[in-house]
Amino acid sequence: MLRRSVVLGLAGGLVACASPDPQILSLRATTLPSDWTWMETAPLAEPFTVEISFLLRDSFPTDTRGQPKDWPKQPLALPNFDRHERLGATSWEVEGHVSELASYYKAARAQMARYHASDETLYWLRLGIGGGRSGTTIRFAWWDQLSEMERFVRWIEEARDGETFDDLDQGWRVQAARRGAELFFLDTNWEENEELGKVKAPVATCVEAAKTTWARANSIVDELSRSVGINPWR
């Protein structure tokens, strides 16, 4: 993917940020910049949820020459446990059904190997923040592995008053800030200047939700890795 920029820190003057990505910067000061006025109208998320989902595939291409719409595909059998989305399973839905999810991955790998095919999207994860009755979901459309999500989960747990988080990629930007005892989150398509969702919630609520989901997702990935014999989810 094309990583345009990532910003992590307190709004204000530039300070170097230790990261393997040279485009990650840390901003530090005591006040939020003027373009964070969206916080004033962010609705309270009741309840506030943090979830990590396992994206599922029901087919794979056997030949990727030509246009994607013309690629021949083979079907993949989906796992049978109950879930809200046909092509996705949240960590709480997977809990207690890890062996079934592992069987799905192993069968898919075996079937794809017969066609000398591979597809990293088979293992993609998706982080999402839900706004409860507000109906808002904050998307993290460009983060596919736990390693990409970890810095944001840590930011939720450790953010100080006035600290901000800002990450963007093609057609997607997520901003977050702590002000007093609340955290604020904004999802936009920055290329179209389109606001897609925003919510706020008490810091303690956000921290508890993030820690619970992060621990559950990591436990599932550890179990999957032992069963499948690979670890593309990290």
Q: Tell me which of 18-32, 97-111, 173-187 is least confident.
A: 18-32
Average pLDDT over residues 200-214: 97
Minimal CA–CA distance to 203: which of 223, 166, 176?
176
Average pLDDT over residues 69-88: 92
Q: Please give the Cα distance from 126 to 213 (Å, whole number).
A: 12
Q: Please give the Cα distance from 82 to 168 (Å, whole number).
A: 34
The per-residue pLDDT for 135 is 62
Q: Please give the Cα distance from 159 to 147 (Å, whole number).
A: 19
Pairing between β-strand 163-169 and β-strand 3-10 as defined by DSSP bridges: antiparallel
Q: Please give the Cα distance from 223 to 215 (Å, whole number).
A: 12
Q: Please give the Cα distance from 34 to 223 (Å, whole number).
A: 45
Residues 6+ apart with CB under 8 A from 62: 71, 72, 73, 74, 115, 117
- Tokens describing residue 223: 């179990």
- Tokens describing residue 54: 């396992």
Average pLDDT over residues 117-121: 83
Q: Please give the Cα distance from 167 to 8 (Å, whole number).
A: 8
Pairing between β-strand 24-28 and β-strand 3-10 as defined by DSSP bridges: parallel
The per-residue pLDDT for 76 is 95
Helix 146-158 with 203-228: angle, nearest 10 deg: 150
At 114, the pLDDT band (50, 70, 90 cuts) reads confident
pLDDT tens digits along 3-59: 333 444 444 332 333 333 433 333 333 356 667 889 999 999 988 999 999 999 999
- Tokens describing residue 63: 């030949």
- Tokens describing residue 25: 């910067």
The per-residue pLDDT for 71 is 86
Neighbours of 95 (CB within 10 A): 13
Question: Which residue bears the tokens 């990727």?
Answer: 64
Residue-range domain boundaries for the chain:
3-19+44-49+132-217, 53-125+224-228
